[in-house]
A and B are shown apart, each in its own frame.
Chain A
Amino acid sequence: MEEGKFSPEQSLALIQSMIDKAKDSAADDSFYFLLWGWLVFAASTMQYVLRVMLHSPYHYLAWCLMFVGVIVSTVHGYLQHRNKKVRTYIEELLNNLWIGIFLSYVFFGFIFARLGWQNCYPFFMLLYAVGCFVTGRALKFPPLVWGAASSWILAIVSTFTSYETNMLLSALAILLCYIIPGHLLKTRFKKMHAHV
C-alpha cells in the first residue's frame, strides 16, 4: 500500500474496502452444521430402524454416534483455533451460544435419563431451532432462520405423535435445520472466497 496524500473520497473507499476484507475473513461455519446434522440424522433414523423394524431393546445405542461428533468437533475446533489469524465478535458470540446449547443437550440427557425419554424429542427440536435461529440472524443467512422455524413447528407437531414417529420427525427437523442450510452455507462460503 502506497503512502502519501489521498482525498476524503479515497479515505471512505479505503475504509469500506477494509471492512469488506475483514468480513471475507469469516470462517466456514458450515462444518459443524453438516457434521452434527448428519450424525443426528443417522442416529434418529438408526434408532427408528432398531426399535420399530428390528425390535431391538438396545435401540438407544444409536445415539453413541454423538461421541464421534464430540471427538471430531474438539479436534477440528482445536486446529481451527490454532490456525486462526483473526477473531471477530460475532464468532465469539456464536461459539458461546453453541457451547451453551451443547451443555443444554448434556443436561437434558441427565434430566430425561431420570424422568424418562418419552417426551425428549420436542425439547431437542427446540434446541435445534434456537441455535439455528440465532446463527442465521447473526450471519444474515435466511435458510438457517427458515430451518429454525420448521424445527419449532415440528416440535409442536411432535407433541401429537408417538415416540417412534418423533424419531423420524427429529431426523426431518435436523435435515431442514442443519443439513440443508449447512450445504447452502458451504456454497455461500465457497462463492465468497472465489471472488477474493
Chain B
Amino acid sequence: MFKDLDPILHSQLRLAVVSLLISVKEAEFTFLKEKTNATAGNLSVQINKLKEAGYIDVVKQFKENYPQTVCRITPFGIQAFEQYVKNLHSYLSVHIHPGPGKDREPQ
C-alpha cells in the first residue's frame, strides 16, 4: 500500500544531503556544497530543517582558526531515509506494475 512520502525528505536538496550522509560517517559543509552544487545560503537553510527534524547532527567547530561545520546522519534520520525509500518503492510498484484488473481493457 502506498504511503505519503516524508515531506522533509521529499525535497531535492534535503534528499541529496541525506543521501550523501547515509554513505559516509561525517561530512563537512563544504563537501556537501561541492557535491550538491547548492548555494551556501540555501544549503544552510535545508541543513537547519534536517537538524530541526532530528535527521542529522550538526557540529560547528574551529579548524586552524577557520569555522568548520560537520554534519552526520542520526539513527532517526537513517530510519526515516529507509522508510522513505520503502515508500518510494511501494509507490513505484503500484504505478509501474499495477495490480490485476486495474489497467485491463474491458473485454
User: What is the interface of chain A, defined by CB distance below 8 A to chain B?
Assistant: 1-4, 6, 8-9, 11-12, 14-15, 18-19, 21-23, 25, 82, 85-89, 92
Residue interface mask B8-27, A partner, CB < 8 A = 1:
00111101100110111111
Q: Are B85 and A85 in contact (CB under 8 A)?
A: no
Q: Are A14 and B31 in contact (CB under 8 A)?
A: no
A53 smallest CB distance to B (angstroms)? 50
Given A9-B92, A15-B15, A86-B26, check contact A1 B31 (CB 8 Å).
Answer: no
Main secondary structure of the interface of A (DSSP, over half): helix
B44 within 8 A of A: no
Interface size band for B? 20 to 34
Bound Cα distance from A71 to B25, whole angstroms: 28
Residue of A whose beta carbon sits closest to that of B91? A8
User: What is the interface of chain B, defined by CB distance below 8 A to chain A?
Assistant: 5, 10-13, 15-16, 19-20, 22-28, 30-31, 34-38, 42, 64, 85, 88, 91-92, 95
Bound Cα distance from A192 to B88, whole angstroms: 30
Q: Pick 10 A–B contacts, CB within 8 A, sort by A.
A: A1-B38, A8-B5, A14-B16, A15-B19, A18-B16, A19-B20, A25-B35, A86-B26, A86-B27, A86-B31
